[in-house]
Amino acid sequence: MSCRKARIAVLVSGGGTNLQALIDAQKSGIIKSGEIVLVVSNKAGAYALTRAENAGIKGVTLTRKECGGQAGFEEKLTALLDAEKIDLIILAGFLSILSADFTRHFEGRIINVHPSLIPSFCGQGFYGLTVHEKALEYGVKVTGATVHFVNEIPDGGRIILQKAVDIQDGDTPEVLQRRVMEQAEWIILPRAAELVCAAMVKEKA
């Protein structure tokens, strides 16, 4: 890493609010040991790609359908990430489970943000609004977000950072989702990215 910055790819599926938080954190100097050089969407027309374009970051669409399934998708994605010499992969609202082969290839180099305090409300099927619906159904008083390394077990990798968010009377899943984003996800995802990038740069120095 001659420029002494880790090269970051962000994988997205939708609007890209977490991507925006990362872009803003890079501009403000919270992320200083890494640089976002690539955004990959597995959904055509995702607004996250517009955010990437606005920030002058290369954006690519790769869909399972056009790659002939998950194996072909991961093969093309791996080739793309390797060609771009990506050090760190950040899953930011990326709604696709990655195989054990893929996560092993990039072991210790993929992080994800999950909208609960793992090990609560996580694992297979727990994503998006479902997480907040379950938290409210269960009646917990505190929820939050977790940034963790990604391995072959959904939400099963080592935890990097967590931040708690209070649940308030009258919360709907949508209201809670927004509060968790604003008070936890958008804060700890950039911080975790900087922590991991700083460690990578130090290791390669």
Per the CB < 8 A criterion, the answer to whether 34 and 8 are in contact is: yes
- Write down the number of H helices and E strands in the chain: 8, 7
The bridge status of strand 88-91 relative to strand 110-114 is parallel
Per the CB < 8 A criterion, the answer to whether 82 and 51 are in contact is: no
Active site residue 114: yes
List the structure tokens of 81. Answer: 């990430």
Residue type, 139: G
> In the block, which residue shows the tokens 């790819």?
9
Distance of alpha carbon 130 from the chain centroid? 17
The bridge status of strand 34-41 relative to strand 159-166 is unpaired
Catalytic residues: 114
